[in-house]
Chain A
Amino acid sequence: MSAGPPHRGGGATAISPDAAHANGRGKMSERAEFRSYYGRAIIKEPVWTWEIPWYFFTGGLTGASSALAAAARIAGHDSLARRATLTASAMTFVNPVLLVMDLGRPARFLNMLRMFKVTSPMSVGSWILSVHGGVATVAGLSEVAGRAPRTGVAADVAAGALGTILATYTALLVSDTAVPVWHEARRELPFVFAGGAMASAGAAAAIVTPVADAGPARRLTAVGAVIELGVAQLMEHRLGELGEPYGEGQVHKLKLAAGALTGAGVLATLTAGRRSRAAAIAGGAATLAGAVCERWAIFKAGFVSARDPKYTVKPQRRRLEERGESGGARPAGPSRSGAESRPGTGAGAVDA
């Protein structure tokens, strides 16, 4: 999606200061719209490119596959465990490639591990990705070589535990920004990502596992899809006006595709996929494609949300009105004392 001109929406969404005043001088109560600086964006659109939504997908697939492998080990389903382990350990080499490619200075990727910084989801995520990658690789090597089985199982369980966070922390990468459609969905996004990750891991396992052994994978696909689509629906509902980007243009098409592909994929997986491997593969592929579309929709929605100042101004203005302030227009009386220190700020960083 290309960046639109700053004046998108025209008079309906953006009114010039002049027009705002003309409005205000007549009937102040009519100022239902918002004021802006020539309709220009206030916050910046992200600079992230195609690698990032793909990483949201692959990270989810990797993490939840590790979790599936660990659960399969515990439950004694070796056929499924073997395949989930190998899926995770193969995907674990894809994730860092995508992330390094997205950097403005790829050669400096190691700077990501220069610190462990609790205030930065990207720093914490880099460490989770690295540690999980190492553990998942050990599990994969053990599986392939057929050696050190106890180490392999321990690695599977460790990778599974880390994998659950790997699959969900990515939601924080977007929700811990000033982009309204992301930040205001901060409670729901991790669950959308978790659901998508479970559906993806189930679908991938159902593709590579004989149907007789893939029952848990099929069920995981269904459970994940229900969580993914259900919470996404809840998220849009709770976002209200801020969720508009999900109902428009390319983002809307991606949402429709996500719903259709995931729905059809789960249906095929749970019906014909129980008997026919071909149907399982088709259903799994559709589910995976649905998860990709869902992440792309969320990714793209952020750009729309950042570009239009109404999404930034309106909720902030409403917040001020609820507090009985008018935005920087505090009475010039004695100011309050210094800012209270609060946890979770930059002081929490330590050298790695």
Chain B
Amino acid sequence: MSSAEVTVIETPAWPDTYGSDAKPRVGFFTDTSICIGCKACEVACKEWNGVPATSYEFTGHSYDNTGDLGADTWRHVAFVEQRLPVGGVAEGAPDSFVAEAHRQEVLERSGIEAERDGEGMRWLMASDVCKHCTHAACLEVCPTGSLFRTEFGTVVVQQDICNGCGYCVPACPFGVLDRRDGDGRVWKCTLCYDRLGDELEPACAKACPTKSIQFGEHDELRARAQERVERLRADGLAEARLYGEDPGDGVGGAGAFFLLLDEPEVYGLPPDPVDTTRDLGEMWKAAGLAAGAIAAGVLASFAGGSR
């Protein structure tokens, strides 16, 4: 189980509203340092969940012809090509023998898959997914209650309730949700809610050949992620960092978090995502004052009589 310093992160509705029916909070730890970019997660997700095909667009962005998450893409593998020696080599000496030896040593010790090409070329590959935020803006702005917090602490759209108002689409700080063309409703990763009910792991995690996508109980995954990032750093991979794991971040910590080897925006992730509904009090206050301005304005306009 979890190490002592990792605690369970509770969401506003989980576990409280479920009482004794609450299950342990689950999530994903996506360790991008061992992603090989096979896209098995994308395929498995589509197969299991019956997600429609996306257009066959050629983006020219490395091996990524998927583009981004959306109504018809619930796992998305990003490919980044960099001319960057792995392992935080001293600046100004990227091509020296010392640097190369260091690079090889780091690779051997850490076993990372993010680098394969020998010519100072670095591959970053990362499988993105819905973050199942602790404070989920999509869920909070949903006017119908279609988006809800499951007994596993995940965030799911109820397709029989969604009326396609689209509020969640720009509310999500990660750009995960979108409305499906020709369907009118919003779709996103369910963290395989149906499989969880049968005590199966989500399809993407099941299909991942390198265990880059790890499914499990949230607190245990966080402990595992801490250990992993510490080990990578000890092995000389100073750029290794966790993303979405911190309960102190703008979404209260993500249910699906990542180990990255560069800044989040390089992978198309927001560097400091925020659940904007945390400012709701301030926003309603402004609206209330503005409403008061209207009341004052209409009353004042009668001060001068009819003319």
The interface of chain A, by Cβ under 8 A from chain B, is 6, 17-18, 20-22, 25, 34-38, 40-48, 63-64, 67-68, 70-72, 74-75, 77, 80, 102-106, 108-109, 111-112, 114-115, 117, 119-123, 126, 160-161, 163-165, 167-169, 171-173, 175-179, 183, 186-191, 193-195, 197-198, 201-202, 212-217, 219-220, 223-224, 227, 274, 302, 306, 309, 312-313, 316-317, 319-320, 326-330, 332, 334-339, 341-347, 349
Contact = CB atoms under 8 A, between A and B. Distances in A.
A25 B170 CA distance: 35
Contacts of B295: 67, 71, 160-161, 164
Given A38-B61, A327-B264, A114 B161 contact: yes
B22 interface: no
Interface residues of B, number: 121
Given A186-B286, A335-B6, A18 B169 contact: no
Contacts of A227: 293, 297
B272 interface: yes
Interface in B238-254: 239, 241-248, 252-253
Interface string B288-302: 111111110111111
Contacts of A44: 70, 169-170, 172, 175-178
6 contacts: A18-B81, A25-B94, A172-B284, A202-B301, A309-B265, A347-B17
A17 B221 CA distance: 29
Contact of B136 (A37, A67, A117, A346): A346
Contact of A120 (B143, B239, B248): B143
B108 interface: no
B83 A22 contact: yes
Contacts of B294: 63-64, 67, 163-164, 167-168, 194, 197-198
Interface in B59-112: 59, 61, 64, 67-68, 70, 78, 80-84, 91, 94
Contacts of A342: 135, 278
Nearest to A186: B283
Interface of B: 5-13, 16-17, 59, 61, 64, 67-68, 70, 78, 80-84, 91, 94, 124, 134-137, 139-146, 149, 161-167, 169-179, 183-186, 222, 226, 229-230, 233, 239, 241-248, 252-253, 258, 260, 262-274, 276-284, 286-295, 297-302, 304-307
A112 B184 contact: no
A316 B272 contact: yes
B246 A213 contact: no
Q: Which of B176, B226, B290, B300 has the most C-beta atoms of chain A within 10 angstroms of its own C-beta?
A: B290
A72 B198 CA distance: 64
B170 A178 contact: yes
A44 B168 CA distance: 10
A96 to B, nearest CB: 13
A216 B282 contact: no
A111 B163 contact: yes
Given A111-B161, A172-B283, A313-B271, A337 B145 contact: no
Given A104-B166, A194-B294, A330-B246, A219 B301 contact: yes
B271 A317 contact: yes
Nearest to A108: B163
A327 B265 contact: yes
Contacts of B171: 176-178
Contact of A328 (B162, B271, B280): B271
Given A44-B169, A327-B271, 13 more contacts: A40-B61, A41-B68, A46-B170, A102-B165, A104-B183, A111-B163, A119-B141, A183-B279, A186-B283, A329-B239, A338-B7, A338-B9, A347-B13
Contacts of B12: 341, 345-347
Contact of B167 (A122, A194, A302, A320): A122
A68 B35 CA distance: 63
Nearest to A348: B12
A75 B305 CA distance: 9
A266 to B, nearest CB: 13
A26 B207 CA distance: 41
Contacts of A186: 279, 282-283, 286
A67 B298 contact: yes
B83 A21 contact: yes
Nearest to A231: B290
B119 to A, nearest CB: 13
A31 B94 CA distance: 19
Contact of B179 (A104, A111, A175): A104
Contacts of A219: 300-301, 304
Contacts of B264: 327-328
Contacts of A169: 287
Interface centre among A64, A165, A217, A309 (most CB of B within 10 A): A165
A335 B293 CA distance: 46
Contacts of A20: 266
A224 B244 CA distance: 44
B242 A119 contact: no
